[in-house]
């Protein structure tokens, strides 16, 4: 049973989430919090498996609450918000959130994300990944220059230890594609893609898919997602 704490300042939102989550046989909402400070207190007391966290809340925002909860090891945090990309997204990821979804996501996607986070993996909505790229790509190294540098000094490349197929998967991850979309592109199963992504995270020492995207750009392996 996945024990869940809901943190959102809107009672109707919490009620809707509770109805969806409690209907699942492997999930149980054990508590609700209306602000970040209360979420921290309840996470410390109840030790839930996953906290579903809103970002903008009174008393203490979701970013600060996420940092406290993950820093103390009380629970893993899945952030849900109405904002596609802004400083709050980056702040939440830096605070240690294991996942980031938009509130308008389909219920099945939310359930999948909670299970992914509970397993110890990370998940970022593909829309968020694409928008992060559009916002921050200008801060990343020039792909052509990075690629030339890697060729000049192969031993310095962080991608030396990955396979050809893993390079293909990494390039598609960098375009913001989901595992299902990558599976369709490469004509393999989604389980196979998940395995490749797990290997990439391990081999490259990346915490989540967003870090994989940055690494792909630094290595000259990817370009901005086409509009």
Say yes or no to pLDDT of 208 above 90.
no
Q: What is the pLDDT of residue 213?
A: 74
Q: Can you tell me whether residue 104 is helix, strand or coil?
A: coil
DSSP-assigned letters across all residues of 29-75: EEEEESSHHHHHHHHHHH--SEEEEESS-SSS-HHHHHHHHHHTTS-
Domains of the chain by residue range: 2-124, 135-218
pLDDT in tens, 120-165: 877 777 666 666 656 555 554 444 454 555 444 443 367 888 999 9
**CA-to-CA distance for 74 and 3, rounded, in angstroms?**
12
Q: pLDDT tens, 54-85?
A: 988 999 999 899 999 998 888 999 988 776 55
Vertex 4 angle, CA 25 and 98, to 5°:
115
CATH of 2-124, one of 1.20.1260.10, 3.40.50.2300, 2.30.42.10, 2.30.110.10: 3.40.50.2300
The residues, ordered by sequence, that sit 6+ positions from 136 with a Cβ below 8 Å of its Cβ are none
Rounded to whole angstroms, how far apart are CA atoms 43 and 110? 20
Residue 123: which H helix or E strand, with range? strand 123-124
Same fold, 2-124 and 135-218: yes
Q: Does domain 135-218 have CATH number 3.40.50.2300?
A: yes
């Amino acid at each position: 049973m996945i024990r869940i704490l809901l943190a959102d300042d809107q009672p109707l939102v919490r009620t809707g989430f509770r109805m969806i989550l409690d209907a699942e046989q492997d999930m149980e909402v054990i508590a609700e919090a209306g602000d970040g400070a209360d979420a921290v207190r309840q996470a410390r007391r109840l030790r839930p498996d996953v906290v579903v966290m809103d970002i903008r809340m009174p008393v203490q925002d979701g970013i600060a609450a996420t940092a406290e909860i993950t820093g103390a090891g009380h629970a893993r945090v899945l952030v849900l918000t109405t904002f596609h990309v802004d400083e709050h997204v980056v702040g939440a990821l830096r605070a240690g959130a294991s996942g980031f979804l938009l509130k308008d996501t389909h219920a099945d996607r939310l359930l999948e994300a909670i299970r992914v986070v509970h397993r110890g993996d990370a998940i970022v909505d593909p829309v968020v990944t694409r928008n992060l790229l559009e916002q921050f790509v200008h801060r990343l190294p020039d792909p052509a220059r990075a690629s030339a540098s890697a060729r000049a000094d192969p031993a310095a490349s962080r991608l030396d230890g990955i396979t050809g197929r893993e390079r293909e998967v990494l390039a598609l991850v960098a375009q913001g594609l989901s595992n299902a979309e990558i599976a369709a592109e490469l004509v393999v199963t989604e389980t196979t893609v998940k395995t490749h992504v797990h290997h990439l995270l391990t081999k490259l020492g990346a915490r989540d898919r967003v870090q994989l995207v940055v690494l792909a750009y630094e290595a000259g392996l990817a370009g901005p997602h086409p509009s």
